[in-house]
A and B are shown apart, each in its own frame.
Chain A
Amino acid sequence: MRLLIVEDSKQLAELLVKGLRIAGYDTDVVTTVAEAQTALLTVSYAALILDLGLPDGDGLAVLRELRRRKDPLPVLVLTARGGLHDRVNGLRTGADDYLVKPFALEELLARLEAQLRRPGQMLGNALRVANLEFDSRNRQAVIDDKPQVLSARETAVLELLMRGKGRVVSKRQVEDHIFGLSGDVASNAVEVYVHRLRKQLSEKGARVHIHTIRGVGYLIAEEKP
């Protein structure tokens, strides 16, 4: 799987290439906006890793051009500036995710994988936490390689939590996801489904824990010993 890295710092680019090669990715590196535009037109990449501060302009120009062509290529933005304006600008222009420098290589790989596992992208749709796996294509939960039967709403909650693994999924997101726009939702409905899901997973031997962040949402993580 080939990735394009647009990064003007040679050293950082080399290290990224090395790290990504170990993770099994092939990479091309360019250092300017112009080279990036050309590369994107000639080669079909699986994802783009884009630095914003480039010698001949703002990396966002590459992103804007890409989205103008309606190219759904997953884009991971790297930025040295941590401000909201960068974040908002980046996401509005169509970045799928962003990382503020300095970032952990592990984090970069995780974010990249999350992007590539989206429906329609290169990697399969299996999401994994500890011994729990969720295949978002056939919406199937698997524990220790054994497929499990869950109710439709429990499956919906699990899917959302697995997609957002490592991050907090807000209660509002869960409500929207399982009930959609179908009228009023009882205030404790989400708690009820999360509680049932938790019980089911624990009974079936999944070594995961669904944390409740009071007032905020839920987070699925590997169970600590």
Chain B
Amino acid sequence: MIRFKSIISRIVILHVIAVVITSVVISFALSWLLNLATGDIHNKAMEDQAASVARYLVSNPDGSVSLELPPELQGLYSQPYGRYSYAVVDADGHTLISSRKDRTAIFPTDPKSPNVGFLKFKRDDAAISGASLPKTIGDRKLWVQAGEDLANRDVLIDDIATDFFKDVGWITLPILLLLLITDIAIVRRALRPLRQASEIAEHIGPARTDVRLPVNEIPSEVRPLVLAINQALDRLQEGFRVQREFTADAAHELRTPLSILRTRVDTLDDRSIANALLADIEAMSRIVGQLLDIAELDVLVVDPDDRADLREVCAEVAEFIAPLALEQNKDVALLGTNAPVWVKGNPEMLSRAIRNLAENAVKHTPRGTVVEFTVEQNGIAKVSDRGPGIAEEERDLIFRRFWRRDRSQTGSTGLGLSIVQQIAELHGASITVENRPTRGAQFSIHFVASGNAVEKAADE
């Protein structure tokens, strides 16, 4: 079974096959009908000839019968090639008159029927077809036979048939082609709403679950499919909505009690207990925040049209983290290009990724050292510290959720880097980890450069 890729090619190929079959069948049918028609015409002509010969039969007084053909008819039967011939036979089978040279009957096997008979007879290499007409002259019952040599007639009919095919072919072929083109046009037109629906469907993604396919223009044969797709999208959107709402609700439900706890501790008189509790609340808040981040990232999808200025994102993170670093006698610096670096992605998510890297770096870098942010023009953001670095064998482990090198260390959730990786994956970005030649770890995220950086910059 041939598999067709498109409906159009299926229609064209099947249509061509149908056209070929139809042409052959029509040709045969027409030639059969033509033969039938020419046969009828021939028989009628033969009957007429027999009748006209019979009209000139004369009954003599001696009882014999003679034929007195007018000259124009004599000419017809005396043609050199003997196309037409006639004969008159009596009831005993004797040939009384014959136009043939050997004076024989045309149809020796004449059944002498009382009605007109149409007969065929093969003589030597000639096939003679004609009519036998009963005629009573005086008191004698005679049969007038008229015949035509079919060898001659076939020439004529062949001519007609050949001409017919030539003429009919010239007419039918363009008609059939025209029909084919019309079919293609009709199908294309009928499929246009589907093509439009496909174009709309291309834009559907987790970021755009509100898109629905138009149903009104869709042909009724395909409508159930389109409706089913729309229903599937409804369910998908509902799923995303429920998940997003859950995340928002969970954020509210978890953070409000933490706020209450924190404020209560803030107003405690015993500052030593308060400070210990605050550190615990801080750690708890961090875990809650990161779990909510992860839940949010599981349903959030980057809009492919989102653009972010990586330089600006890093500058904001550096501004945010600098006061925290300075409190611990640590410094931050933003290096690299000063020009905007446009990359594909959601600025807030990029910011969260860089912030997680920055928080780790500030935590691990020793007092008196600098955490460096470096932004490169090709879409790479680097965050490096002067800490102990990361061992070769740990470089895959650190991105696992809840992985920690030192389980006894408090304040670390083991979630930060998995969030970074999740954000990088959502943006088609790659992360590399290396140790700096001197000391410390360096994380690089290579984002996808945004093609229309110039336009975007011009829009600002």
Contact = CB atoms under 8 A, between A and B. Distances in A.
Contact of B267 (A9, A22, A101, A216): A22
A16 B259 CA distance: 10
A103 B248 contact: no
Interface string B221-242: 0000000000000000000000
A214 B334 contact: yes
A224 B326 CA distance: 10
B318 interface: yes
Contacts of A84: 346-348, 351
B436 to A, nearest CB: 17
B210 interface: no
A106 B318 contact: no
B334 A215 contact: yes
A11 interface: yes
Contacts of B346: 84
A83 interface: yes
Contacts of B329: 224
A18 interface: yes
Contacts, number: 110
Given A19-B266, A84-B351, A101 B333 contact: no
A96 B315 CA distance: 22
B182 to A, nearest CB: 54
Contacts of A214: 331-335, 370
Nearest to A52: B252
A53 B254 CA distance: 13
Interface string A1-43: 0000000010110011011001000000000000000000000
Nearest to A10: B260
Contacts of A217: 319
A215 B260 contact: no
A80 B267 contact: no
The CB with the most chain A CB atoms within 10 A, among B296, B320, B332, is that of B332
Interface residues of B, number: 42
A168 B322 CA distance: 7
Contact of B326 (A78, A83, A170, A219): A219
Given A53-B252, A83-B348, A106-B266, A216 B318 contact: yes
B35 interface: no
A9 B252 CA distance: 10
Contact of B319 (A9, A18, A168, A224): A168
Nearest to B263: A15
B259 A102 contact: yes
A57 interface: no
B319 A213 contact: yes
The interface residues of chain B, by DSSP majority, are classed as: helix
Contacts of B323: 166-168, 219, 221
A104 interface: yes
B319 A12 contact: no
A102 B267 contact: no
A103 B252 CA distance: 13
A224 B328 CA distance: 11
Contacts of A15: 260, 263-264, 267
Contacts of B260: 9, 11-12, 15
Contacts of B278: 104
A215 B267 contact: no
B373 interface: yes
Contact of A216 (B251, B256, B292, B315): B315
A106 to B, nearest CB: 7
Nearest to B338: A215
A49 to B, nearest CB: 12
Contacts of A221: 323, 326
Contacts of A211: 322, 326, 331
A61 interface: no
A82 interface: yes
Interface string B247-286: 0100110111011111110110000000000100100010
Contacts of B315: 170, 215-216
Contacts of A100: 255
B428 interface: no
B345 to A, nearest CB: 12
Contacts of A16: 263
A86 to B, nearest CB: 9
B308 to A, nearest CB: 11
A206 to B, nearest CB: 17
A204 interface: no
Interface string B298-329: 00000000000000000100111011001001
The CB with the most chain B CB atoms within 10 A, among A102, A170, A214, A215, is that of A102
The CB with the most chain A CB atoms within 10 A, among B256, B320, B323, B346, is that of B256
A102 B255 contact: yes
A166 B327 CA distance: 10
A91 B182 CA distance: 61
Contacts of B332: 213-214, 216
A81 interface: yes
Given A214-B334, A219-B322, A105 B252 contact: no
A85 interface: yes
A69 to B, nearest CB: 28
A213 B331 contact: yes
A85 B300 CA distance: 12
Contact of A81 (B248, B259, B320, B334): B248
Interface in A86-107: 100-106
Interface string B355-376: 0000000000000001001000
B451 interface: no
Contacts of B351: 84
Given A12-B259, A102-B255, 8 more contacts: A12-B256, A83-B348, A101-B256, A102-B262, A102-B285, A104-B266, A167-B323, A217-B319
Interface of B: 248, 251-252, 254-256, 258-264, 266-267, 278, 281, 285, 289, 292-293, 296, 315, 318-320, 322-323, 326, 329, 331-336, 346-348, 351, 370, 373
Pick the 8 closest A-B CB pairs, nearest first: A84-B348, A215-B334, A214-B333, A105-B266, A101-B255, A102-B258, A168-B319, A15-B263
